[in-house]
Amino acid sequence: MKIFSGGSNPELVDNICRCFSPRGHVKLQRFPSGEEHCQFQENIRGEDVFLVQSTSNPANENLMQLLVMGDAARRASAGRITAVIPYFGYGRQDRKDKPRVPISAKLVMDLIEAAGFNRVLTMDLHSPQIGGFTNLPLDHLCFRPALVVALKDTPVDCVVAPDVGAIKRADEYATALNIDLAIISKKRKSAEKVEVKQFVGDVKGKNVIIIDDLTESAGTLEEAAVACRENGAKTVYCAITHGCVTEVGNRRLTLAFKEKLIDRLFMSNTVKTSTPFLWADVDKGPDLDGLLEGYGEHVTVVDVAPTFATAIKNIHNNESVSSLFQ
| Active site residues per annotation | 186
Distance CA 216, CA 239 (A): 13
In terms of Cα–Cα distance, which of 254, 303, 304 is closest to 275? 254
Pseudo-torsion of CA 249, 208, 172, 54, nearest 10°? 20
Neighbouring CB atoms inside 10 A of 198's CB total: 11
Whether the CA torsion 217, 220, 221, 226 is positive or negative: it is positive
Distance CA 216, CA 39 (A): 33
In three-state secondary structure terms, 205 is coil
Distance CA 92, CA 140 (A): 16
Tell me the one-letter amino acid at 207. Answer: N
